[in-house]
Amino acid sequence: MLILTLSQVTRTFGETRALANVSLEVAAGERVALLGHNGAGKSTLMKIVLGLIPADDGAIEVVGAAPGSRTARAATAYLPENVAFHPALTGLEQIGFYLRLRGESPAKARNLLDRVGLGEAGQRRIGTYSKGMRQRVGLAQALIGRPKLMVLDEPTSGLDPVSRREFYAILDELAADGTAILLSSHALTEVEARTDRIAILSRGHLVANDTLANLRRGAALPIQLQVAARPDSAEEVARRLHGRRVNGVRVDLDCTPDEKLTRLSDIAELRSLIEDVQVVPPSLEDIYEHFSRRVPQ
Amino acid sequence: MNRIAAVANTEIRIALRNRWVAIAVVMMALFSMVLSAAGSAPTGQLGVDKLSVVVASLTSLAVYLVPLMALLMAFDSIAGEVERGTLPLVLTYPVSRGEILAGKFLAHLGTLALAVAIGYGIAGAAALWSDPTAGRGIPSLFRLFWTSLLLGATFLAIAYAISALARRPGAAAGLAVGVWLVFIVLYDLGLLAAIVADGGGTFTTTVFPWLMLANPADAFRLYNLAASDAAGAASGLAGAANTIPPAQALASLWLWPAATFLAAVAAFRKVTP
């Protein structure tokens, strides 16, 4: 079941086109990562989905309703980038407030804060919290009332690696319950490949929208083979494999995914001259770079 | 209704934490005590009870203080949320902008009501204690209380509109001070200058009463002094304008908060988070 549908969405700010004919769908239980540089249009897309700003053109449906309508807002949770709260309120009071806005009992605040690992700090004022703690309060309010759609703007930016892992564990639970999740990030490594699909925005254009495996295949970036030669044989290894000598013992070769096995058997024939070989697939950053450079004119 | 209550509840907590409740109460209490002490002299000479005289002095005090407190309490309401970055999140909740504003309004008006009630209560108690006949003035003290709230409500709503239009707290603060100066100080000075220049001509008899009604602070003063026995204790413009029927002043007092609140909601709707 589709929870979020954007078709041909366009939005212009003055001279700049923030979004150009963007079409994107997120189904129930699906986790979609929205990637892009700063200013690529991620936040604009999210604000349009939330109904905070209107689109100039195109159609958007959130649980079958218009974005920003009461039906859409009741079904949607949002975690803004650098989420902020009133510093004079405690974590419990702030979450209690959001619970009441969704028509739920403020007594549930304690459970929500426990779930994001903030149980003890709930009595303290948010003004005394660290950035990571505020981000957890933000996540706690997004968990209220089993949302059908979660929109998370750079949710892991202030979190340490352990917290990030805990954060994704919570998202996994939600997705398993059928929540559609759209989260943004400016680095592919940040989303830790824990999403079902990756959509890349580049200067307002959607330049990729697929699983990580398919993106990897589609990019067809060269694989690097790093050969460690025995002492004094690097020169010969480089010559016979047509590789690049990096230092006294290492020789690097590039090959396409299809050539990989052939090249490896070439290397295996030189067994007496080499000590080791490493296969380095293109990094997530390389793949992201590859797609984000593609901008349709 | 629950959502309005949720916003009001949170705003009251914030007002308590920010010491706004304490500041407002102490301010009103202090001024009332000073007035009670200073206002003990003229009794007897005017032949009215002491509380009515105190009400007349409190009226001139409230005209300055109530709008000022309302503006100070509320100028930050929307601009502050924009600056802190808390507005976008709350606007994605199933709550309308009108409901958000209504919640803030209830909390701020409640704070104002508490401060005014304590201030006037002190002044009233002091008058009753020193003059046993002062009980006659109790209805006018009560009238002063609820008209003060109408006056405060008007300036709270003006502050919300300013806050939504200015977008930045600094600009909103500047505008709030400007509004206070124009409505409370300069407006009356301008009218006085015009009357003096007119010398009892058509301006004074036809235009002037309407201009008095057009300012909520003047309407407040007119209504309270006209309805009080102690109008003789008043001076200045209000004395000059006793030709205006109190009902018209009262209508102005009710129209102002309604109109300014609607304007504030309209201004808030224009804010893009």
What the block records as the tokens of A209 is 């929208």
Of A191, A217, A243, the residue that ends a domain is: A217
Q: Does A82 lie in the same domain as A7?
A: yes
Put simply, the answer to whether B9 touches A88 (Cβ < 8 Å) is no
Residue A291 lies in a domain: no
Considering only CB atoms, A50 lies closest to which of B10, B13, B92, namely: B92
**HSE value, Cβ hemisphere, 13 Å, CA-based, for B180:** 21
Q: Is A279 on the interface with B (CB under 8 A)?
A: no
* Angstroms from B242 CA to nearest CA on chain A: 48
Q: Report the candidate in B226, B228, B248 with the shortest Cα–Cα distance to residue B237.
A: B226
Q: What are the pLDDT digits (tens) for B146-199?
A: 999 999 999 999 999 999 999 899 999 999 999 999 999 999 899 888 888 887
Using CB atoms within 10 Å of the CB of residue B109, give its burial: 0 to 12 exposed, 13 to 18 middle, 19+ buried: buried
Identify the CATH number of the domain in which residue A242 sits: 3.30.70.1650
* Residue the block writes with tokens 């008899």: B205
Put simply, the answer to whether A101 touches B89 (Cβ < 8 Å) is no
CA dist B124 and B142 (Å) reads 10
Residue A12 lies in a domain: yes
Q: Is A82 on the interface with B (CB under 8 A)?
A: yes
Residue A41 lies in a domain: yes
3-state SS assignment for residue A27? strand
What the block records as the tokens of B262 is 């609607």
Residue A295 lies in a domain: no
Residue A286 lies in a domain: no
* Angstroms from A53 CA to nearest CA on chain B: 7
With residue A59 as reference, give the H or E element that holds it: strand A57-62
CA dist B126 and B123 (Å) reads 5
Q: Does A199 lie in the same domain as A262?
A: no
Q: Does A58 lie in the same domain as A21?
A: yes
Q: Does A241 lie in the same domain as A136?
A: no
Domain that holds residue A98: 2-217
Tell me how many domains chain A contains: 2
Instruction: Name the percent of chain A lying above pLDDT 70.
Output: 98
Put simply, the answer to whether B92 touches A51 (Cβ < 8 Å) is yes
Q: Does A138 lie in the same domain as A45?
A: yes
CA dist B263 and B258 (Å) reads 9
* Angstroms from A37 CA to nearest CA on chain B: 22
Residue A248 lies in a domain: yes
What the block records as the tokens of A5 is 């549908």
Q: Is A145 on the interface with B (CB under 8 A)?
A: no
Q: Does A231 lie in the same domain as A202?
A: no
Residue A9 lies in a domain: yes
Considering only CB atoms, A88 lies closest to which of B2, B9, B14, namely: B14
Of A217, A246, A267, the residue that ends a domain is: A217
Q: What are the pLDDT digits (tens) for B106-157?
A: 999 999 999 999 999 998 888 888 877 777 888 889 999 999 999 999 999 9
B contact set with A (CB within 8 A): 2-3, 5-7, 9-10, 13-14, 17-18, 84-86, 88-95, 272-273
Residue B48: how many CB atoms within 10 A of its CB?
23
Reported pTM: 0.87
Q: Does A261 lie in the same domain as A162?
A: no
Residue A154 lies in a domain: yes
Q: Does A211 lie in the same domain as A101?
A: yes
Given a cut of 60, whether residue B235 has pLDDT beyond it is no
- What's the full length of chain B, in residues? 273
**A70 interaction partners in chain B (CB closer than 8 Å):** 94
